[in-house]
Amino acid sequence: MTEHPATEPAAPDRAALQGARVLLGVSGGVAAYKAALLARGLVTHGAQVQAVLTDAAARFVTPAQLAALTGRPVPTDLFEDAHRIVHVDLARQADVAAVAPATANVLGKLAHGLADDLLSSALLCLDAPLVLAPAMHTEMWEHPAVTANVAMLRERGALMVGPDHGPLAGGDHGPGRLAEEDAILDAVAAALGPSTAPAQATASTQPTAGDEPLAGLHAVVTAGATREHLDPVRYLTNRASGRMGYAVAGALARRGATVELIAGPGEQPDPAGVTVQRVETAREMHAAVLARADVADVVVGAAAVADFRPAETAAHKRKKGAPDETEQLTLVRNPDILGDVGARKRPGQVLVGFAAETQDEEAQGADKLARKGLDLIVVNRVDAPDAGFAVDTNRGLLLGADGTRAELPLMRKDALADRLVEAIVARLPSRDLPQTNADR
């Protein structure tokens, strides 16, 4: 991972495009002509590009042009080769899909599950990351219906790139311009992520003995939210789903580490090769983590731990008083799990936190990094619709106790976890691998 003391963003690794099967959807806006340049850019980076045009797109750019650039026939019609269910094949054969330009019409259809042509039908069958590069006139982009559709698509994990602010068709100027080719290439590479890049897929999902750089390493990861009970039916909690912590646990396990995941309640499936212990309250999580922290080489706190709990948990359901009566709730502080691990940190151990912020994030993150004795902290904003809590994507700032600072642009949580693991590995003392921690 590239870390810089300066502030410029780290460029996503375009090597992920090498060999990747990209479904390139082109919908009908003036910017459709730029899809030809994008197709050429993807091919130049080694991607296998399958372009699909809507009828309207074919008025701006020809199937023949895209076929010549990608080396593959370009279908436009759902029924032209009906015996082989083209839309299903297109979706299944894609490692990633990108729609550029994505018109308001395509965004709307996708948000609402409509499939009335080849592109929209293929996108509804897609089980791969999706990048959307909207382009349209400013009035359309700012229409509440489009805003709502975009928010919905982001929430489902689509990566949005652009639109940019600039000259538009017809001499207008404003937001709605298709993002630059470089930004779209970076977004497609980021969506693929190091863990899903075809060239690395075998290694990352099925490590072999010689391909386990973290064999012998013991990691403890926390994930999800905690619940602090008021009575047998009510509790205080937050929106964390556990996805970020599960992704970190999976990324460490794929590299051969022995990983114990201490997770709050949730529905995430257990990551392959990871031991999962379920807890409910901050105090249970504290006890579980502290019991393992001394033998762990790496501790990662991705859980959103409740800082406070009700001073008392009622044995029975609390009753409401008279209608005009107010209810006082006394809260007491929960233990600081990472703070306590940091206080007894042993040499060589790598401690990592996450900071969930809504303002002044860098200063807040730097303060938590120092106060909890951490080596690394990922500062992520939790007030954006496409990052933080309960979505598949995240972005942030990775701060190191050694003064390093790296931007983590919007990417899938598993890709961000891979980037974090690279930074952790760079901080581990050199070891004779493999080894065991059993006698520590």
The catalytic residues are 238
Stretch that binds ligand PMT, among 66-74, 141-149, 290-298, 333-341 (CB under 6 A): 333-341
Picking from 386, 387, 391, 367, the residue whose alpha carbon sits closest to that of residue 377 is: 367
Q: How far is the CB of 308 from ligand PMT (least distance, A)?
A: 9
Picking from 291, 298, 151, the residue whose alpha carbon sits closest to that of residue 221 is: 298
Residue 148 corresponds to which tokens in the numbers above? 């709502």
Stretch that binds ligand PMT, among 17-25, 108-116, 238-246, 427-435 (CB under 6 A): 238-246
Footprint of ligand PMT on residues 264-283 (CB under 6 A)?
A: 282
Stretch that binds ligand PMT, among 32-40, 66-74, 211-219, 351-359 (CB under 6 A): 351-359
Q: Are strands 393-400 and 331-333 parallel, antiparallel or unpaired?
A: unpaired
In whole angstroms, how far apart are CA 231 and each of 236, 280, 306, 326, 378? 10, 14, 16, 18, 34
Is residue 250 at the binding interface for ligand PMT, with CB under 6 A as the rule? no
In the chain, the N- to C-terminal Cα span, in Å, equals: 30
Helix (H) or strand (E) holding 98: strand 96-102
Contact 181, 38 (CB under 8 A): yes
Helices (H), 126-224: 138-141, 144-155, 181-196, 198-205
Contact 125, 87 (CB under 8 A): yes
Say how many CA atoms lie within 13 Å of 105 toward its Cβ.
14
Contact 384, 393 (CB under 8 A): no
- Fill in the per-residue mask, 187 to 226: x = in contact with ligand PMT (CB under 6 A), - = not in contact: -----------------------------------x-x--
Whose Cβ is closer to ligand PMT: residue 60's or residue 235's? 235
Is residue 411 at the binding interface for ligand PMT, with CB under 6 A as the rule? no
Q: How far is the CB of 223 from ligand PMT (least distance, A)?
A: 6
Q: How far is the CB of 222 from ligand PMT (least distance, A)?
A: 6
Q: Which residues pair with 392 in a beta bridge?
A: none
Helix (H, G, I), strand (E, B) or coil at 325: coil
Among 28, 41, 176, 353, binds ligand PMT (CB under 6 A): 353
Q: How far is the CB of 337 from ligand PMT (least distance, A)?
A: 3
Q: How far is the CB of 366 from ligand PMT (least distance, A)?
A: 12
Whose Cβ is closer to ligand PMT: residue 100's or residue 305's? 305
Among 99, 111, 160, 355, binds ligand PMT (CB under 6 A): 355
Q: How far is the CB of 233 from ligand PMT (least distance, A)?
A: 24
Stretch that binds ligand PMT, among 75-83, 119-127, 239-247, 254-262 (CB under 6 A): 239-247
Footprint of ligand PMT on residues 377-406 (CB under 6 A)?
A: 380, 382, 388-390
Helix (H) or strand (E) holding 38: helix 34-44
Whose Cβ is closer to ligand PMT: residue 192's or residue 379's? 379
The torsion angles phi and psi of 78, rounded to 5 degrees, stand at -60, -30
| CB atoms near residue 77 (< 10 Å) | 13
79-86: Cβ within 8 A, 24+ apart: 86/118, 86/122
Picking from 313, 210, 307, 294, the residue whose alpha carbon sits closest to that of residue 255 is: 210
Helix (H) or strand (E) holding 50: strand 48-53
Is residue 336 at the binding interface for ligand PMT, with CB under 6 A as the rule? yes
Distance CA 411, CA 21 (A): 18
Whose Cβ is closer to ligand PMT: residue 60's or residue 389's? 389
Among 35, 185, 191, 356, binds ligand PMT (CB under 6 A): 356
Residue 372 corresponds to which tokens in the numbers above? 């909890």
Helices (H), 222-331: 243-254, 282-293
Among 120, 196, 241, 393, binds ligand PMT (CB under 6 A): 241
What does 207-267 look like in DSSP terms, one character per residue? Answer: --GGG-TTTT-EEEEEESB--EEEETTEEE--S--SHHHHHHHHHHHHTT-EEEEEE-S--
Is residue 337 at the binding interface for ligand PMT, with CB under 6 A as the rule? yes
Q: How far is the CB of 264 from ligand PMT (least distance, A)?
A: 9
Among 150, 159, 214, 240, binds ligand PMT (CB under 6 A): 240
- Fill in the per-residue mask, 282 to 321: x = in contact with ligand PMT (CB under 6 A), - = not in contact: x------------------xxxxx-x--------------
- Fill in the per-residue mask, 82 to 121: x = in contact with ligand PMT (CB under 6 A), - = not in contact: ----------------------------------------
Whose Cβ is closer to ligand PMT: residue 41's or residue 242's? 242
Contacts with ligand PMT by CB under 6 A: the residue count is 28
Helix (H, G, I), strand (E, B) or coil at 347: coil
Among 334, 395, 400, 412, binds ligand PMT (CB under 6 A): 334
Which residues of the shown chain bind ligand PMT in the complex (CB under 6 A)? 222, 224, 240-244, 282, 301-305, 307, 334, 336-338, 353-356, 368, 380, 382, 388-390
